Structure 1
Amino acid sequence: MGAWDSLDDRLRPVVQASTDEYARVRPALEKLTREMEESLRAIFTDSPVRPLFVASRTKTVESFRDKAARTLPSEDPAELPTLLFPDPLRNLIDLVGLRVIVTLPHEVDEAANLIKRQRAEFDCRGDREKDIGSIESGTYGYSSRHLVLRTIQNDTVREFHKLLDPDQRPNGSYQFEVQIRTVLAHAWSEIEHDIRFKAGDPRAWSPYFDRQFTATAAMLETVETAFAELHERYETVTGFWDEDGQGSAPLTPNRIRDVWMTLLPHVNRKAGDDWGWAAELLAAHGMKTTMDLAGLLQADIITKVRKALDHRYSPGPDRLLDDLLLWRFGKKHIDLTAEPEDAAVKPRRESLGRRYRQMQLFRAREENA
C-alpha cells in the first residue's frame, strides 16, 4: 500500500494534477535521462576507472504520484496533513536517476571524484555516503555514494523548462541524482528494495526480515573487504614484475621481508627478524632486484622442492630460500655459500650436498615417470 492509496481524499486532486503534468512532460525528461547517461559513459571512456555498467531511469508516473502523495501529519487532527512535496515537479531531485556500478569499494570513490571534476558540465550540489550512518551507529547497511548534480547551460534542460513553463526563462540547470555502488551492494539493494519497499501489504512484514537483511549486510561487508584485500595483493604482486617500477626496487633486507610476506605469508616464522642473511644469499648469485626474488619464489617450484626433500617439518624462510637457490643453481650455490672443500669441518657443505643429491634423484624420477 503506497502513499497514494492512503492519501486524504481532499488532497487527491492536487496530487493528481501534478501527476498529470508530470505525465505530459515526462518524455522530455526521458530525453534528458538518456543524455545524462551518455555523458557519464563518456567520462569513463578514457579513464582508468571502468564501471561494470552505467544505467539510468526516469521515474515512472505511478512512482511519481506515490512520492508526491507523501504527507507530514498535522498537529491538529482536524486539519489536513501537509504535502511533503508541495511542488513535486520542482522539489523532487530523483526524477532523473543514474547508477554507476563498479567492482570494488575503492572504485566508488574514484568514480565519484572523476564525475565531480567535470565542472564544465556539472555542478555537484550534494555528496553523501549512504553507509556512514550505519558505521557510526554500529549497525550494518549497504554502501552507496549519492551525488546530486546540477547541469550547466544544458540545451535539453532548456527544452524541458520551456515545455514545463513557457512563460519562464529557461536557464539550462536541472538537478538529478547519481548513485555509485559496487556490484555486490547493487544486488543487495535491489533485493532489499523489492522485499522491503515494494511489499504489497505492510501487515505481512516480519521483524525477522530486518534481522536477515542486517545479517546479509554484515556478510556483504566481509566479502567486499576480502575482495578489496585480494585486489590490493594482486596489484602488489603484479608490481613485482614491473621492471620499470617496483620490479627494479633493490633487495634490501626489509624489501626481501615485504616481498616474502606478500608471496609466502604462510611461511613467516622469521617475519620480524633481520633479513640480512637473505640479502647475502641472494647477492651471492647476483640477485639484487625485486623481480629477481619474485622469479625465485614461484609456487610450482616451491612444490617440487618440498616433494624432492620431503621435509619432516615445514621449513622456515631461511631453509626454504636456501633450498630454492640450491634447486636453481645446484653446485654453484654450494660453492658460493658453503665452506671451502678443503675445510676441516664443513657441516653446511655436507648438508647442502645431501639435499642436492635428493633433488637430483627427484628430477631423475620425474623424467622417467
Structure 2
Amino acid sequence: MTTGNHSNQQKFDFLQHEQSTITSYLKVYNFWSELTIANKRIIEESIKKRSIQIHSVEGRAKSPTSLAKKAITPSDHDPSKPKYLQPLKEITDLSAVRIITFFPKTIELIDALLKEEFEILEFSDKSKNLLEDEKFGYQSVHYLVKLNSTRSGLSEYERFSGAITEIQVRTILQHAWAEIEHDIQYKSSTTIPTDIRRRFMALAGLLEIADREFQAIQDDDQELTIRAESLVNTGKLSEVEITPSALKTYLNRKLGADGRMSDFSYDWTVRLLKKLGFKNFQQIENCISGYDADQISRILEGKRQGQLTRFEYLLLTAMGERYIERHHFAGQNWYGKLPRKQLKMLEDASIKIGNFDPLSIEEEINTPLNPG
C-alpha cells in the first residue's frame, strides 16, 4: 500500500504543467511578438533590396494555448512525463517566420539571404526525415536563427540578442500541402489503408512534379527572353516571336526607351499586333520602316507622344484602313471615326498612307516599305 501511495505522489501533473506554462508565457508574450515583427521586417526589407520575387512572408508569436498544448505532449521515451519539462527554454518556435516562394530555386536565394542577415544556429531539410519517420508531409527547410552580432549591437535590437526564431521556407505548393495536412487523419504510412496510402503517394508525387515543372517553365522563359533580346539586338528579327519583353527591347532600339511604359501596356500591344496579323518582328520592321514616328506624332498630337502611342501611330499610317478593321475595338460603334480622321490629317500633311498586310505571303518576304 505504501508503495502505491508513493507511486501516486510521483505521478506527473500534466494539468498543472499546462497552466503554469500559460502563466509563464503570458509574462513574456509581448517580447516574442515584438521579436517576430522585427525579424519579419528585416526579412521583407532584405528580400526587397535583393529584388527577390516571392509569394509572401508570414510571422507569428506562438499562442499561449498552442504552446501549452505542445508542452504537455507526452515524452516519446516516458509517456508518464511531458516531452518538454521547461517549455519556454526547450520549444524553439515561440517566434516563427514563414517565407513562401513561387519556385524551388528561390529557396536557394533565401538561404543565402538568411545566412547574411542572421546567425544560423540550426538547419534542417524536413523532406529527408519523412521516410524515416514514416510520415506523409511536405518538403520545406527550417532554420533556427538569432540576430547576428552586427544587428544585435544596435540599440533597437539589443534586447533581442540571443533570442531564437524559427524560419520556415517553402514553395507555395509545399505550403498548400502543409495546410491541408492539418486535416489529414492518418500521419503514418504504417496505419493508413493501402488504397488511401497509394493516393497520398500519388498526390505527393504530383505536387513535386508540379514544382519542378513550374521551375522549368520559369527557367525556359528566362532563356527565351535572353535569346529574343540577343536576336533583336543583332537584327535577326524574323526569328523573334512577338512577346512583351521582346517588343520592349525592339521599341527601345527603334523609338528610344520610355520608362513610363508598363508591363501591361506592352502586353496589350502584343495582343494588338497578333490581332493585326503580325507573327514576327521582321514583319513589323517591314511595315513601319521609312516612317518618322516623331513627325507623325507631332502632326496628330502637336507633340512627341510616348513610345507605344508613337508605335501605334506608325502601324496606323503603314496599314491604313486594315489597321482600323482589325483593331481590338473594330466591332465597337464608337471606334473608327478618330483613326480615320487621323489618316486624313496625315494625308493633308503629305504623309503617304500604306496598306501593309502581315497576313499576305508577299508582304512577309517584302523588302522594307519606303513611303518616299
Residue among 133, 136, 142 paired with 2:138:
142
Q: 1:134 offset after TM fit, Å?
A: 5.0
Q: What is the CA deviation profile of residues 224-254 of structure 1, one whole-angstrom value per residue up to 9, with x for unaligned ones?
A: 11111111110100011334xx876xxxxxx
Output the amino acid matched with 2:207. L
CA distance in 2, matches of 1:105, 1:90: 33
Alignment of 1:128-277 (within 5 A): 128-134=124-130, 141-152=137-148, 153=152, 159=159, 172-196=161-185, 210-243=197-230
| 1:51 matched residue in structure 2 | 54
TM-score by length of 2: 0.54
- Does structure 1 retain, via aligned residues, the 8 Å contact 2:17–2:72? no
Q: Alpha-carbon deviation of 1:206?
A: 6.3
Match of 1:132, as an amino acid? K
Compute the displacement of 1:11 (Å): 3.1
**TM-superposition CA deviations, 1:245-298 (whole Å, max 9, x none):** x876xxxxxxxxxxxxxxxxxxxxxxxxxxxxxxxxxxxxxxxx5x62x74254
The answer on whether the counterparts of 1:43 and 1:115 sit within 8 Å (CA) in structure 2 is: no
- Give 3-state SS (helix, strand or coil) of 1:83's partner: coil
Task: Indicate whether 1:126 and 2:115 are aligned.
Answer: no
The answer for the alignment partner of 1:72 in structure 2 is 75
Separation (CA, whole Å) in 2 of partners of 1:362 and 1:125 = 63
CA distance in 2, matches of 1:359, 1:84: 77
Q: Kindly report which structure 2 residues correspond to 1:83-98, keeping only aligned pairs within 5 A, or say none.
A: 83-98=82-97
Question: 2: CA distance between counterparts of 1:81 and 1:225?
Answer: 45
Cα distance in 2, alignment partners of residues 38 and 15 from structure 1: 32
From the superposition, tell whether residues 208 and 27 of structure 1 become closer, same or farther in structure 2 (CA, over 3 Å).
Answer: farther
Number of residues paired by the alignment?
239
Q: Tell me which amino acid in the other structure corresponds to 2:107.
A: V
Q: Could you tell me the TM-score, scaled by structure 1's length?
A: 0.55
Partner Cα distance (1:94, 1:16) in 2: 19
Query: Per the alignment, do residues 138 and 18 of structure 1 end up closer, same or farther by CA in structure 2, a change over 3 Å counting?
Result: closer
> What is the Cα deviation at residue 218 of structure 1?
1.0
Check 1:298–1:29 CA distance in 2 against 1; reply closer, same or farther (3 A cut): closer
User: Corresponding residue for 2:307?
Assistant: none
| C-alpha contact 2:12 2:81 (8 A) present in aligned 1 | no
1:61 aligns with 2:64: yes
**Structure 2 partner of 1:296:** 239
**What does residue 346 of structure 1 align with?**
none
CA contact (8 A) 2:137 2:181 kept: no
SS in 2 for 1:71: coil
Q: Is the 8 A contact 2:238 2:283 kept in 1?
A: no
Structure 1 residues 125 and 295, CA, compared in 2 at 3 Å: closer, same or farther?
farther
1:115 aligned partner: 114
Separation in 1 of the partners of 2:91 and 2:133?
Answer: 28
Cα distance change on mapping 1:9 and 1:44 into 2, 3 Å: same
Go from structure 1 to structure 2 and tell me whether the alpha carbon gap of 1:159 and 1:138 turns closer, same or farther (over 3 Å shift).
closer
Per-residue deviation, residues 10-51 of structure 1 (Å, max 9, x unmatched): 232133212211122212211111111111111111113122
Determine if the alignment matches structure 1 residue 18 to structure 2 residue 21.
yes
Structure 1 contact 70–85 (Cα < 8 Å) conserved:
yes
Q: How far 1:73 moved relative to its partner?
A: 5.4
Pair 1:36-2:39 in alignment: yes
CA distance in 2 between partners of 1:52 and 1:229 (Å): 18
Kept in 2: contact 1:134–1:140 (CA 8 A): yes
Q: Unaligned regions of 5+ residues in structure 2, if any?
A: 1-10, 244-279, 285-359, 366-372
Q: Distance in 2 between matches of 1:159 and 1:194?
A: 38
Amino acid at match of 2:114: I
| Structure-2 separation of matches of 1:37 and 1:219 | 31
What's the Cα RMSD here? 4.0
Contact 2:76–2:83 at 8 Å: present in 1 too? Answer: no
Please tell me the residue identity of whatever aligns with 1:183: I
Structure 1 residue ranges without an equivalent (≥5): 1-7, 161-171, 199-203, 249-288, 301-323, 329-357, 364-369
Residue 84 of structure 2 aligns to a residue in which SS? Answer: coil
The one-letter code matched in structure 2 to 1:175 is I
